[in-house]
Amino acid sequence: MKSPSPAPLYSMTGFGRAERRIDGLPLIVELKGVNHRYNDIKIRLPSFLNDSEHLLRQHLQKVISRGRTEVNIRFGDNAEMLAQPRLNLDLVKHYQNLYEQLQEQLAYDESSPLSAEKMFHLPGVLLTTLAPEDSDALREQLIETLEAALAPFLEMREREGANLRSDMQQRLHNIEEELQKIAARAPQLPAEQFQKLQQRLQELPLSQPVDPQRLHQEIAVWADKSDISEEITRLRSHIEQFLKLLDAGGVIGRRLDFLCQEMHREATTMGVKAQDSSIIHWLLPIKAEIEKIREQVQNIE
């Protein structure tokens, strides 16, 4: 029976671009994605489209769960043709009230009133917005263009994710090969330590022979302290969980990062407990591969 294909795995790195023309003006939507601990979406768009930002963000959050995504939306040089200028009359009245208060408080000369021309250039008085009948149509076209840019963006993220999965699977295989050597070596250590201890005792000018039972007790204590069988089992378990998560796909970056920390912890503990040159030699590539895997995990969604 053929095993099912693994679910898609997404990198946080991606790029997508789409362009269309609206009333003769080019609308360009670009998306750039890089790794980030959280889901951070930055949207830049013309001021007269600011009321569409929340809708665009909601749309992106449905398909992007993690990473920093920069969205750049722009029109041609004459984008203002799509919008109509209007006066913010409420703000004009507020400015007028403040001006009158200023005259009253500081006794300014009333011969120089705040003219309409001066008022026209005050911040926020002139607003550029879409005509109501055009707003819905443009928003729909904007979403369609965003969708067109999302397609290559998500495709690139999936392709990068597949490459990362393949690389990490190979590195986990390399770790397992080294771990097999350690697992075969570890049971030999107590007998070797016993022989070394006997040899040292024979070389020492002792006044009386060492009690064999005491010698066996010391070796038993040493064997218990240097036993790494639990660490080997846990490291293999972490590798198995890691591989299952890679096959499951989805948003797994943080869980993979946690497993990397645990794998590194087990490898370090093995080196401290075993105190064997051969095992330490095999642990070096294991720890190196774990570090490389952890670097790759930082870009997994």
Q: What domains sit in the chain, N to C, each tagged with a CATH number?
A: 14-81+133-157 (3.30.230), 84-128 (no CATH), 159-297 (no CATH)
pLDDT band at 1 (very low <50, low <70, confident <90, very high): very low
Least confident of 80-84, 184-188, 237-241: 80-84
**CA angle at residue 46 from 41 to 47, to 5 degrees?**
100
> Closest Cα partner for 150 from 223, 56, 218?
56
**CA 175, CA 238: separation in Å to the nearest integer?**
11
**CA 86, CA 83: separation in Å to the nearest integer?**
10
Distance of CA 150 to the CA centre of its chain: 18
Tokens of 65: 């769960």
pLDDT band at 203 (very low <50, low <70, confident <90, very high): low
Residue 42 DSSP class: E
Q: In whole angstroms, how large is the CA radius of gyration of the chain?
A: 34
> Closest Cα partner for 13 from 214, 196, 157, 220?
157
pLDDT for residue 151? 96
- When pLDDT is averaged across residues 209-217 and rounded to a whole number, the result is 64
Distance of CA 229 to the CA centre of its chain: 34
What is the reported pTM? 0.74
Q: Are 25 and 75 in contact (CB under 8 A)?
A: yes
Residue 87 clears pLDDT 70, i.e. is over it:
no
Q: What is the pLDDT of residues 125-177, one digit of tens each?
A: 455 554 544 567 778 888 999 999 999 999 999 999 999 999 999 999 999 99
**CA 46, CA 22: separation in Å to the nearest integer?**
14
Measure Cα distances from 83 to 5, 22, 125, 181 in Å: 50, 12, 16, 71
* Mean pLDDT taken over the chain: 81
Residue 245 clears pLDDT 80, i.e. is over it:
yes
pLDDT for residue 115? 58
> Closest Cα partner for 276 from 217, 227, 207?
227
Tell me the three state secondary structure of residue 7: coil
Tokens of 130: 């879409």
Residue 105 clears pLDDT 70, i.e. is over it:
no
Burial class (CB in 10 A: 0-12, 13-18, 19+), 85: exposed
**Tokens 């707003």 map to which residue?**
135
In three state form, how does the secondary structure of 223-262 look? HHHHCCHHHHHHHHHHHHHHHHHHHHCCCCHHHHHHHHHH
Q: Are 71 and 98 in contact (CB under 8 A)?
A: no
